Amino acid sequence: MSFGKNPHVAKATLAEQKARAAGDEGARVSAWREAARQWERAAERETIDKRATEYSNNAAAARDAADNPATADAPPIVTGPSKVYPTDLN
C-alpha cells in the first residue's frame, strides 16, 4: 500500500464491479450496499473536501442502485475531466 492513498476508493470500485456482474438479486443488492459502505469510509478518510463530497455522492448513488435495479444498470454519469491533484501523481 502506498502512502497518501485512500484504500477504500479501490475497495468501493471493486464492490461496484461485483454488483454489476452479480448473478442474482441478493448478491447484487449486497454488493451495492458494500460499495456504499466503502464510499462512506473513503469520504471519512478524505482530507480534501471536494473529493469527500464526491465520495459521499457515490455512496448515495450506490444505495440508490441497491434499492432500484433500473438505475444500477445505467452507465455512470461523466461530467468531464476531473482535476489532477499533485498528490495523486506517482
**SS3 letters across the chain:** CCCCCCHHHHHHHHHHHHHHHCCCHHHHHHHHHHHHHHHHHHHHHCCCHHHHHHHHHHHHHHHHHHHCHHHHCCCCCCCCCCCCCHHHCC
pTM of full prediction above 0.85: no
Evaluate whether residue 69 is within a structural domain. yes
1 falls within a domain: no
Q: Is the residue at 23 inside a domain?
A: yes
Q: Which domain holds residue 40?
A: 7-88
The pLDDT score that the predictor gives to residue 68 is 86
pLDDT band at 6 (very low <50, low <70, confident <90, very high): confident
Confidence class of residue 89 from pLDDT cuts 50, 70 and 90? Answer: low
The answer to the question of residue 2 being in a domain is no
When divided into structural domains, the chain yields a total of 1
Q: Would you say residue 55 lies in a domain? A: yes
